[in-house]
Structure 1
Amino acid sequence: MSEIQGRKRKQKKDDFLMQGMILAVAMVLTKVIGVVYRIPLTNILGDEGNGFYGYAFEVYAMTLILSSLSIPTAVSKLVAARVAMRQRRNAFRVFVCAFVFSAAVGLAVTLLIFFGADTISLHMMKSPLSAYALKVLSVGLVVVAVLGVLRGYFQGLGTMLPTAVSQIIEQIINAVVSIVGASILFGIGTDAALKNGEELLAPAYGAAGGTLGTVAGALFALFFLGFSFLIYRPVIYRQIRMDHIRKRESYGRILKILLLTVAPVIFSTAIYNINQILDLTIFNSIMSAQGYTEKEYMAMQGIFTGKYNTLISVPLAMANGLAASVIPSLTAAVTKRDRKQIHAKISQTLRFTMVIAMPCFVGFTVLASPLMVFLFNDDSKTPAALLIMGSITVVLYCYSTIANSILQGLDEMGAPAKNAGISLIIHLGALFIMLVVLKWNIYALVGSNIVFSLCMCVLNARAIRGACGYRQDIDRTYIKPLTAALIMGIFTYLVHLILDIVIGGRFIPTAVSILVSALIYAVAALKLGVFTGQDIKDLPQGKKIYRICRKYRLLPR
């Protein structure tokens, strides 16, 4: 009996937590690389260039949802359901259908955005010079559309490694090409600005050069996944030959199911991104009406998108990694109607998410100004104040992101879309009040995002409870990680204060404080009992980690 239980525990670790951690670590690494390369990129572009870059990227992200970002989720869910029922042939047919569909839609959207970039930038974005960056980004839409299908197929098969490696490759290429492209085109734009008498041409050209990296990175990631698929193809065909299920799903039926699965995912994911576009459009319009020049409000926007969002997105990457893993895992459990396993997966995913989100929230609050100086050499008040104010969104967005995926894994596809729609309405009302009545200018963008993410958390938590009767352990999920994070925050503040007085400088006090904070948080979390012994054993190399913890008495008695 114990042997059977051990085998089940091992399967759980291999199929769920380990795969989720692989993808989460890869996503965090890509975001760290993103933060690192944004430092020289920000210095090249300046706040105005970052404004053009960020604005064009928001439109790109929005169209990306329609062409590809919803596809990996849908493909992984449909493939996982068929693999759970041992229908390997039908799982592969899902991949073929999704591949053709995504390539066609991606190409159509690419052409639409490329030829409509000037109109979108002028009338929708109120920032005509963003068209240069948007045209470059549009080329990447068809590439990422096909890339998303390959990632979704591998995820549905239960392996996150190809996706993880491809994301790291994508970000490395992105970093190198973005910096080189921005530097070269900024120089060309400077010459054009002198000839045309338009000083913003230099940052606009530079932003377009920076977006070249996005396209190049996606292309190299596609080459890697295509190569991985060719290597794995004999295994896929062998599994198909061993599939004796007589019922073959028609491509018409698969396309219908794919569209029905994609539609609510598109809507809920679109709300997450459209609120950024709406925010920036409303912000620009109101700032202009209040007498600010384009240079002034684009500079404020550049701080928000280029500095604040860049840092906030790092811990959110971890949540996205676990979210991608939990969908096929939960889908398989739902297909088998295993209620106990469903609850266990939800509990473990939410707890591990909060274990990462809580210290990031406290760390951003305590080290806001040192981080802005460390990364961007910016000691002005606004970037640090934005980070302090918005650090709570790390916890809120991490939870709502994971909760969205949990609901999708539970086949509650419409719930995230409905909740996102309600949250968006409340969010826009809050943004208008903060901009027009309170006149918070750039701080209104952060404040309204707090309102949006909080609404999503409350609504998604209710939906999960209604869908499967799950109730979260408040103490071990929220209170203990937050307590450990607060202990970490106190020590981090003191360490940085002492090092700043004794040593000073831009790098050493902040770097050492971050390392010390990670060590203190890990010890505090272990001593407070945030993790059970089984939680630790379920991690990659978990048994070794558990033995070390026992040896140094890091676990509660």
Structure 2
Amino acid sequence: MADNSSRKNSFIIQAGILAAAGIISRIIGLLYRGPLHRVIGDLGLGYYQSAHNYYTIVLLISSYSIPSAISKVIAQKLALREYRSAHRVFKSALIYVLAVGGAASLLLFFGADFLCKMELLGENEVLVLQAFAPTIFIYGILGVLRGYFQAHGSMVQTSVSQILEQIANAIVSVGAAYLLIRGTMGTLEIPADEAGRVTRATYGAVGSALGAGAGVLTALLFMVGVYMLNRGTIDKRIQNDRHVGTDSYKSIMRTIVMVVTPFILSTAIYNLSATVNNTVYTQIFPSLRELDEVAVFSRWGVFSGQALTISNIPIAFASAMASAVIPSMAQMAAAGDMKGVKEKNTLAMKTIMLISIPCAVGLFVLARPMTGLLFHNVQETEDLVTGLLMALSLSVVFYALSTLNSSVLQGLGKVNTPIINAGIALVIQTVAALLLLLFTELDLYSMAIAVTLYAGVMCLLNQWAVRRATGYRQEIVKTFLIPTLASGCMGAVAWATYEAFLMMTSSPRISVIIAIPVGACVYFLMLLLLRGISEQELRAFPKGYLLVRLARKCRLMK
């Protein structure tokens, strides 16, 4: 396990490793969505996403924030070389998640019927939600192990576990959905009657939910194996710890609760928008307009299972950067190094924008071929997904900024600020979604606007809070303007390349596969020509020295 101070910009490299794993995981997730969609259909995806939103709430409250929170506490101990206390934090965190995760799993399993009675969840999603319940208990333990290694400045273990998790999820989701539908219905054919379609979609969604549990279990087994391999080094550090006083388990547990609780609230409210949007569109909207439930859930499956899933891929880099920033910021804040905090924040912000802005432009320009590449839709559905993805593209930049700034504030100890900001943004987006649904004919586009509005409000509020907390002033030209200009050139070339190869090959898939790397090369070229990135910043990326060598060979960098 690497020392946190081994390199000045090591957190960028670790974030890059975690981001690469996150993007690979999400690509795997997208690739299996195609086969899964063919097995369970739009209605099955609608039931799955609806239940998944409530599962996500309970997961957020119980376990999801554990890696970030634990990495912050342990990183503070490691900065003082208090290895014995650090390991006590690890063991106390395990006790915490066993208790909280177990209670949350039981609550989700037995509370599904209650949500149905309260008309917050349809009858068809109850079985799906119950299938998710065991995953929460397993995820808590996995989160502690991931947080432990992240605190040591090593994201490799978490990265590999994420990829293994997604591979297992993909295999079991499709396989279990296939077997359950085949076993229940006797065939994969979609029944003509509505009751048969609902039954088929329900069991397909249950199979997909089982895949999530299988993925988390696979990742947990891997992380346990990694921990056991490092056990000798861990024990040696503890034995060599010469600190006289060691924190008591009681004080450590109190610290964990005090740190984890704000992280949980912040993350829960930050991610609550998806569940609120789901409730607004699938429960409130149909009751006010007297719409057909099956049609509503099918459309929701298109929005959340396809358009929203694709738009979330680039945000993986921001999430990875946020995970890497928290322990680093916590150590600097504890040492009173505000200059170091500003430098890290500047580098992290610029790095995220260098990735997020071209991704947003790429999603907007190549929305249709990317949708066709990943999903098999009829023309009407493909048109809808394309429009929704274009409408969601700007949210990529907003979410990237707000995610990073939330983590910066948490690392600085301003844990309540993101909670307040997320609450304000949630109210604004919910009111906007309701008004747009009731008084316009935008339908699902209302939800895309609400998602973008939520991310934008969070972005502005968090940015202002970071500025007040650190005195940090955002550099504009190289962080935003140059990447935007370079991305515009990239988008134009990528679109032209796609259209040219489409005329030659008549294959949208071949054309988009060629257009994406061509666009990436143009973006890199324009970034260097416009002096949007320095050699030092480029070297901070994983394998950045190869990019520097390439730029020098092309005479784009001295």
TM-score relative to the length of structure 2: 0.95
- The residue aligned with 2:162 is 167
For 1:41 and 1:199, the matched residues in 2 are separated by: 16
- The residue aligned with 1:91 is 86
The 3-state SS of whatever aligns with 1:391 is: helix
For 1:551 and 1:518, the matched residues in 2 are separated by: 18
Matches within 5 A, 1:506-525: 506-525=508-527
1:288 Cα deviation (Å)? Answer: 3.3
Change in CA separation of 1:500 and 1:122 when aligned onto 2, cut-off 3 Å: farther
2:130 pairs with 1:131: no
- Contact preservation (8 Å) 1:84, 1:335: no
- The residue aligned with 1:344 is 343
Matches within 5 A, 1:86-485: 86-191=81-186, 197-284=195-282, 285-378=284-377, 379-380=379-380, 381-485=383-487
1:195 Cα deviation (Å)? Answer: 11
In structure 2, what residue type is equivalent to 1:11?
R
Change in CA separation of 1:196 and 1:295 when aligned onto 2, cut-off 3 Å: closer
2:31 pairs with 1:36: yes
- The residue aligned with 2:76 is 81
- Contact preservation (8 Å) 2:266, 2:415: no
For 1:435 and 1:219, the matched residues in 2 are separated by: 40
1:12 Cα deviation (Å)? Answer: 1.6
1:554 Cα deviation (Å)? Answer: 2.2
Change in CA separation of 1:470 and 1:181 when aligned onto 2, cut-off 3 Å: same
In structure 2, what residue type is equivalent to 1:347?
T
Change in CA separation of 1:95 and 1:288 when aligned onto 2, cut-off 3 Å: same
10, 18, 23: which is aligned to 2:13?
A: 18
Query: Structure 2: 5+ residue runs without aligned partners?
Result: none
For 1:63 and 1:189, the matched residues in 2 are separated by: 29
Change in CA separation of 1:305 and 1:207 when aligned onto 2, cut-off 3 Å: same
In structure 2, what residue type is equivalent to 1:281?
T
In structure 1, what residue type is equivalent to 2:324?
S
Matches within 5 A, 1:519-538: 519-538=521-540
For 1:124 and 1:150, the matched residues in 2 are separated by: 37
For 1:197 and 1:426, the matched residues in 2 are separated by: 38
For 1:241 and 1:60, the matched residues in 2 are separated by: 41
The 3-state SS of whatever aligns with 2:531 is: coil
Query: Structure 1: 5+ residue runs without aligned partners?
Result: 1-6
The 3-state SS of whatever aligns with 1:507 is: helix
- Contact preservation (8 Å) 1:124, 1:281: no
For 1:166 and 1:17, the matched residues in 2 are separated by: 20
Identity among equivalent pairs (%):
34
- Contact preservation (8 Å) 1:121, 1:129: no
For 2:262 and 2:130, the matched residues in 1 are separated by: 28
In structure 2, what residue type is equivalent to 1:289?
L
Change in CA separation of 1:122 and 1:509 when aligned onto 2, cut-off 3 Å: farther
For 1:121 and 1:316, the matched residues in 2 are separated by: 32
| CA offsets 1:301-345 (integer angstroms, 9 cap, x no match) | 000111011101111111111110110111111122222221111
1:502 Cα deviation (Å)? Answer: 2.1
- Contact preservation (8 Å) 1:320, 1:401: yes
For 1:142 and 1:126, the matched residues in 2 are separated by: 22
In structure 2, what residue type is equivalent to 1:441?
D
| CA offsets 1:270-314 (integer angstroms, 9 cap, x no match) | 112222111111112212321211111001100011101110111
- Contact preservation (8 Å) 1:288, 1:294: no
The 3-state SS of whatever aligns with 1:472 is: coil
For 1:121 and 1:275, the matched residues in 2 are separated by: 20
1:499 Cα deviation (Å)? Answer: 1.5
| CA offsets 1:388-431 (integer angstroms, 9 cap, x no match) | 11110001111111111111111111111111111111111111
- Contact preservation (8 Å) 2:15, 2:317: no
In structure 2, what residue type is equivalent to 1:145?
G
The 3-state SS of whatever aligns with 2:118 is: helix
1:115 Cα deviation (Å)? Answer: 1.8
In structure 2, what residue type is equivalent to 1:313?
N
Change in CA separation of 1:194 and 1:108 when aligned onto 2, cut-off 3 Å: farther
| CA offsets 1:174-222 (integer angstroms, 9 cap, x no match) | 1111111111112234359899944301011001001111101100111
1:13 Cα deviation (Å)? Answer: 3.3
- Contact preservation (8 Å) 1:17, 1:539: yes
Greater mean deviation of Cα atoms: 417-426 or 197-206? 197-206
2:41 pairs with 1:46: yes
Change in CA separation of 1:132 and 1:309 when aligned onto 2, cut-off 3 Å: same
| CA offsets 1:141-190 (integer angstroms, 9 cap, x no match) | 10001100110111112111111111111111111111111111122343
1:365 Cα deviation (Å)? Answer: 0.8
In structure 2, what residue type is equivalent to 1:141?
I
| CA offsets 1:412-468 (integer angstroms, 9 cap, x no match) | 111111111111111111111111122422111111111111110110011101111
1:248 Cα deviation (Å)? Answer: 1.4
Q: CA RMSD in A?
A: 1.9
In structure 2, what residue type is equivalent to 1:519?
C
1:498 Cα deviation (Å)? Answer: 1.5
- Contact preservation (8 Å) 1:188, 1:202: no
Change in CA separation of 1:332 and 1:197 when aligned onto 2, cut-off 3 Å: closer
Greater mean deviation of Cα atoms: 466-475 or 123-132? 123-132
For 2:457 and 2:192, the matched residues in 1 are separated by: 48
| CA offsets 1:6-27 (integer angstroms, 9 cap, x no match) | x99962233x121111111111
In structure 2, what residue type is equivalent to 1:524?
M
- Contact preservation (8 Å) 2:61, 2:265: no
For 1:501 and 1:481, the matched residues in 2 are separated by: 30
In structure 2, what residue type is equivalent to 1:82?
K
In structure 1, what residue type is equivalent to 2:155?
M
Change in CA separation of 1:526 and 1:313 when aligned onto 2, cut-off 3 Å: same
- Contact preservation (8 Å) 1:287, 1:441: no
Aligned residues: 549
The 3-state SS of whatever aligns with 1:258 is: helix
For 1:97 and 1:420, the matched residues in 2 are separated by: 29
For 1:445 and 1:76, the matched residues in 2 are separated by: 34
1:505 Cα deviation (Å)? Answer: 2.0
For 1:198 and 1:288, the matched residues in 2 are separated by: 23
The 3-state SS of whatever aligns with 1:200 is: helix
For 1:261 and 1:126, the matched residues in 2 are separated by: 32
The 3-state SS of whatever aligns with 2:230 is: helix
